[in-house]
A and B are shown apart, each in its own frame.
Chain A
Amino acid sequence: MSAAFPAYPAYPAYPISAYAAMNALGTTTRDVIASLHAGRSGLGACPLELPFETPTGAVPEPLPALPPSLSTWDSRTARLAVAGLDEILPAVRRAIARHGADRVAMIVGTTTAGLGRTEDAYHERRRTGSMPPDYELHRQHSFGAVMEALRRVTGIDGPCFAVSTACSASAKAVGHAQRLLATGAIDAALVGGVDALSQTTLRGFHSLQILSPVFCRPFSRERRGINIGEGAAYLLLERQGDAAVHLRGVGESSDAHHMSAPDPTGEGARAAMAGALAQAGVSPDDVDYINAHSPGTRLNDLSEGLAVSSLFGRPVPVASTKGCTGHLLGAGGATEAIFSIVAVEQGWIPRSVGADPVDTDLGLHVPTARMDTPCRNVLSNSFAFGGNNVSLLFGRAH
Chain B
Amino acid sequence: MSLRARVLGVGLWMPGFPNPASWVTGGPVAGADAPNAAAQAKMRRRSSLMVNMVTDVAAQASEQAGIPLSRLRVVVGSAFGELTTLVEMLEEREGDGLLSPLRFQNSVHNSAAGQLSIAHKNKSPATSLAAGNDTVAMVLLEAMTLLALGGDEVLAIVADEPLPGSICPGHETTPVAAALVLGQDAGGGTGAASAPPLAILEDLRQVRAAAASADRPLEVDSPCRAILPLISTLSTLGLGRSGRVAVSPPEDLRWSIEVRTA
Binding site for B on A (CB under 8 A): 6-7, 9, 11, 51, 102, 111, 113, 115, 118-119, 121-123, 125-126, 130-131, 137-138, 141-145, 147-148, 157, 159-166, 172, 176, 179-180, 182-185, 199-200, 203-209, 252-260, 267-268, 271, 384-388
- Taking a contact as CB atoms under 8 Å apart, the answer to whether B148 and A183 are in contact is yes
Which stretch (B29-37, B95-103, B224-232) binds chain A? Answer: B95-103
Within 8 A of A (CB), among B74-116: 79-81, 86-87, 89-90, 93-94, 97-101, 104-111, 113-115
Binding site for A on B (CB under 8 A): 1, 3, 79-81, 86-87, 89-90, 93-94, 97-101, 104-111, 113-115, 117-118, 120-135, 138, 141-142, 145-146, 148-152, 163, 166-169, 171, 206, 253
Residue of B nearest to A257 (CB): B118
Contacts of B123 in A (CB 8 A): 253-256, 267-268, 271
| Contact between B89 and A204, CB atoms less than 8 A apart | yes
**17 A-B interface contacts by CB (under 8 A):** A7-B150, A7-B151, A113-B130, A119-B93, A121-B167, A142-B80, A143-B80, A159-B138, A161-B134, A164-B130, A165-B109, A204-B89, A207-B100, A254-B114, A387-B117, A387-B118, A388-B127
Tell me which of B114, B120, B167 contacts A386 (CB under 8 A).
B114
Please tell me which one of the listed residues B93, B117, B145 contacts residue A203 in the complex, with CB atoms under 8 A apart: B93
Name B79's contact: one of A144, A165, A271 (CB within 8 Å). Answer: A144
CB <8 Å contact, B145 and A185: yes
A206 and B146 alpha carbons, distance in the complex (Å): 37
CA distance in complex: A318, B117 (Å):
29
Which has the most chain A C-beta neighbours within 10 Å: B101, B118, B130?
B130
How many whole Å from B115's CB to the nearest CB in chain A? 7
What CA separation (Å) do A388 and B134 show in the bound complex?
A: 24
CA distance A141 to B82 in the complex (A): 12
A126 to B97, CA, bound (A): 14
A158 to B1, CA, bound (A): 17
Closest A residue to B105 by CB, please name it. Answer: A260
Question: When A and B form their complex, which 3 residue pairs have the shortest distance between CB atoms, in order from nearest?
Answer: A386-B114, A144-B132, A164-B109
